[in-house]
Structure 1
Amino acid sequence: MSLICSRAADLWLGQFKIPADRALATKLLQNFVFISADDFQRDLKALIASKLPAPSTAAFYIERELKQVKPKWPYKQPDNRKIVTRLSPRKIAEKMYLEVGRPRGRGLPKKWTAHGSALPAVKSPKNRQQDIGSEGVVAMAISKFCKLRKNRFALQPHTNDLTPGKATYLVVVTDFIGSGKRSRDMLDALWRLASVRSWHSSGYRKLMVFAYSGTDAGIAHVKRHPSRPNVHVVRTCPTIKSAFRSKTAQEIISLCRRLPQNAREPLGFRDTGALMAFQHSCPNNVPAMFIESAQKGQHRWQPLFPSRTTEGINHVISADPAQQSSEAFDALRLGNIVRNKSFLRSTEEQQDVVRLLAAVFRGKRQTEDLVAASLLPYVRVIAAFDRAIQQKLLTTNGRITSEGHAFINHLNQKASTSTLAPASPSPYYYPLSLRAPP
């Protein structure tokens, strides 16, 4: 969805009085991604379903801010066994479950196991002032997802439901991985349990993290957690450094440091510079000019997402499919395809295959990169991927075939008269041959 055409964006851009600053801010806003509530829930559920197909079982834990507790130094179990030899942080996240010690005989240390109910999925970190973040929206979506698959999935279950054969995966779910700190805290809350470490070392259970999006640095930080979780996202998140070339990126960073004045973190938490917001909330990793207000004399800076809320974004314009397709091909430097008459006359499914092939043609391999490059929803990328394999334009490991390579080159020719594969009543089309014309 596009923010650039909204009334709120016009008011926000009006605060840039210098033409050069306004031009940079417009570029920044054009590369800013706004995710609608429907897209968020649909694609996040589709990601989970594709990575955990039947008969996989899993227990889901919603990422939220956890209470920080001061560990003993050196950190020990109640029977004085050390489980951390390196320096421990000043405070660590509380455990997801209580631990109960059971005697194993005279002279033997107790056996510590997780017991009871998990921490609640949604809880305000401040009791005096209740404040629920994006975990509320994520918890609602995952709760509905689990109810339809009660025999396979559970939301933060009691330890009685973690018996052998149940919950093969322990999964942390969130909307966005910015710096990765909060996701690691959630993993710590599970990993510090002796039972979880035992299950993991025995191969009974694995840890995973699902998110709609995340920065490359944040995802890498989460992957380095001692539990070595598998991390899956719907799409990658653009940042100032990844969306712009070096010179333009430095100019935009300089603008972010000037406006608003005296911002504590001009580029967002840990200088992430993320360019993504959701209809339910805006991450704290975006530049301060989007989320912080400031006052200097009679001049007041009004952010686009005050207090990280999106309440003022009432008239966000859904991207025109044709325009979105044109932007995707132009970004991939294959702009002639979108002007090809046979491409324009083809069905939506056929166009999806071409957009996917174009992304692979330019070196995109991971699903999250394909979603970001093709500007297609996750579910349509998966469907297009299957069709491309059946049409022998892609291999099963996602590499473009010689036929697919020639196909994209031919479609990208100026004034090309090539034709796409004809529509078929079957969901898959099996061409006899695909080759470039002589």
Structure 2
Amino acid sequence: MQRKSFISTELAKGWLSQFSCQDQTQAESLLNSIRHISVEKVTRELKFLIGEILQNQKGVVGLYAEREIRKTRGSVHKIFKETQTKVKRAIGSGPKAIDPIFRYKQDVGSEGVVANIITQICKTKRSRVITHPGPDKIRKQKVRHLIIVTDFIGSGTRICDYLDAFWKVKSIRSWNSLKAVKFHVVAYSATQIGSETVRRHKAKPEIYIGEPCPTIWTVFSDIKERKSIIDLCNKYAPNKETINDGFFSRPKYDPLGYRGIGALMSFSYGVPNNVPEILFRASPKWQPIFKSRVIDYSITPLLERNSQLDIEKALIKLRENNIQTFIKKNDLPDHSPRLIVFLAAANRYRFWNEISEQTGLTVSEIHELHQEAISNKFINEKYILTDFGKQQLDFMRTQHGALAKQLDNNVPIYYVPKQLRALNGV
């Protein structure tokens, strides 16, 4: 019995039925390209990334859950209180992890998920990690690293606002210039433009990303296909309202999402506002599939299954069709195909973000597979395949039948005939 797919659900069919017959193929492609992330995966990845900072940096760290900051006339408020003396000095406690900016709007967004992750980390790393420390605690505990944690960076605007709130505090600027404190930003995922925007901030934060966010520009590499998807988003945009900024009129809501990012990622607890409008914004004539940026609980398992590592798709993207044929025709241990995908990607790309973008593997998964590949002498510390690793790939590319011998489940990859081994001393 074939498992039900997300695209075959009544919800997806209802959404697709709003498009004309000639546009439904593009709409289905858009829907299929959304990468859905579970809260468990976000938790695992953020813990791994923060753990990497703790391992590589000395001293106590402060963790802050990124959230929306209050503003007055477009200018963000300071994150800490200051004395009213001539020489201003930061004082008091830190910011609240969850603090809605409007009293009438008590919605808790992704900051609730992130705040819970921070609490879990603080419970296990009490001697080194403090949650949302204020100036008094930063001085007393000698906090040396301020880590802002979020699940997603779209345009980078909200993270920059949060950094601005720190940067407006004179003591923070002073500590930073003296190298007494350093800023870090940790996110499960980020778009390229979002990462670059945050990286250019005056605070000069170091950025740690679990996996690059797929966008219309990265997923649809074919120019004609990409244009058809963008045209689709413009044609069916739910809100056609425009505003005039004094020079020309423009849409009030960008059809590709906030700041025109065109992100293609959703989370089990919500959808970013950077995804195309046709996916989440409703109108009298349009019913979105993720209404109010909320995921229908009934389709969450199907979305997660749809977003699992697709071995076939990843290898085709890497132009390794022969290796894909090899995997199909041979009974390999369950974990082997993931390692094969990693090795095939590492053979072409050197950096983790490139490997992640091409395969869908996260940085923690890449790290785990990298260590396994090193232990089996397929690759070195610098992500360069060894001769033995290259021989493994070459063997799979040239084989189109069953393996010469059945492998034990403890053997991670394959039997390689002796005549394919490199000569001693080579």
TM surpasses 0.5: yes
Q: Distance in 2 between matches of 1:52 and 1:5?
A: 44
Q: Contact 1:63/1:183 (CA < 8 Å) preserved in 2?
A: yes
Query: Is 1:230 the equivalent of 2:206?
Result: yes
* Equivalence map 1:38-437=2 (5 Å): 38-53=40-55, 57-70=60-73, 91-100=74-83, 110-163=86-139, 166-244=142-220, 245-263=222-240, 264-295=253-284, 300-311=285-296, 313-317=298-302, 318-319=304-305, 324-340=310-326, 344-363=330-349, 365-366=351-352, 368-415=353-400, 435=420
Q: Secondary structure at the match of 1:168?
A: strand
Change (3 A) 1:421 1:53: farther
Q: Contact 2:350/2:383 (CA < 8 Å) preserved in 1?
A: no
Q: Per-residue CA shift, 1:347-369, capped at 9, x if unaligned? A: 33433322111111232512x44
CA RMSD of aligned residues (A): 3.2
Q: Distance in 2 between matches of 1:272 and 1:337?
A: 34
Q: Contact 1:5/1:316 (CA < 8 Å) preserved in 2?
A: no
Q: Contact 1:341/1:417 (CA < 8 Å) preserved in 2?
A: no
Q: What residue is the counterpart of 1:82 in the other structure?
A: none
Shift of 1:119: 1.8
Shift of 1:209: 0.5
Shift of 1:313: 4.8
Tell me which amino acid in the other structure corresponds to 1:247: K
Q: Distance in 1 between matches of 2:307 and 2:239?
A: 40
Q: Contact 2:271/2:295 (CA < 8 Å) preserved in 1?
A: yes
Q: Secondary structure at the match of 2:319?
A: coil
Change (3 A) 1:37 1:167: same
Q: What residue is the counterpart of 1:27 in the other structure?
A: 29
Q: Secondary structure at the match of 1:66?
A: coil
Q: Contact 1:260/1:294 (CA < 8 Å) preserved in 2?
A: no
Change (3 A) 1:216 1:421: farther
Q: Per-residue CA shift, 1:399-436, capped at 9, x if unaligned? A: 3334323332332235166689966869999x9x9956
Bigger share in helix: 2
Q: Distance in 2 between matches of 1:234 and 1:202?
A: 30
Higher mean displacement: 53-62 or 227-236: 53-62
- Structure 1 residue runs of 5 or longer lacking an equivalent are 71-90, 103-109
Q: Contact 1:119/1:156 (CA < 8 Å) preserved in 2?
A: yes
Shift of 1:322: 9.4
Give the number of equivalent residue pairs.
Answer: 404
Higher mean displacement: 183-192 or 331-340: 331-340
Q: Distance in 2 between matches of 1:63 and 1:2?
A: 34
Shift of 1:4: 2.9
Q: Distance in 1 between matches of 2:59 and 2:412?
A: 27
Q: What residue is the counterpart of 2:244 in the other structure?
A: none
Shift of 1:61: 1.2
Q: Per-residue CA shift, 1:7-33, capped at 9, x if unaligned? A: 4222211222x2221000111111111
Q: Distance in 1 between matches of 2:102 and 2:108?
A: 10
Q: Secondary structure at the match of 2:321?
A: coil
Q: Secondary structure at the match of 1:387?
A: helix
- Structure 2 residue runs of 5 or longer lacking an equivalent are 241-252
Q: What residue is the counterpart of 1:12 in the other structure?
A: 15
TM-score normalized by structure 2?
Answer: 0.85
Tell me which amino acid in the other structure corresponds to 2:227: Q
TM-score normalized by structure 1?
Answer: 0.83
Q: Secondary structure at the match of 2:239?
A: coil
Tell me which amino acid in the other structure corresponds to 1:331: K
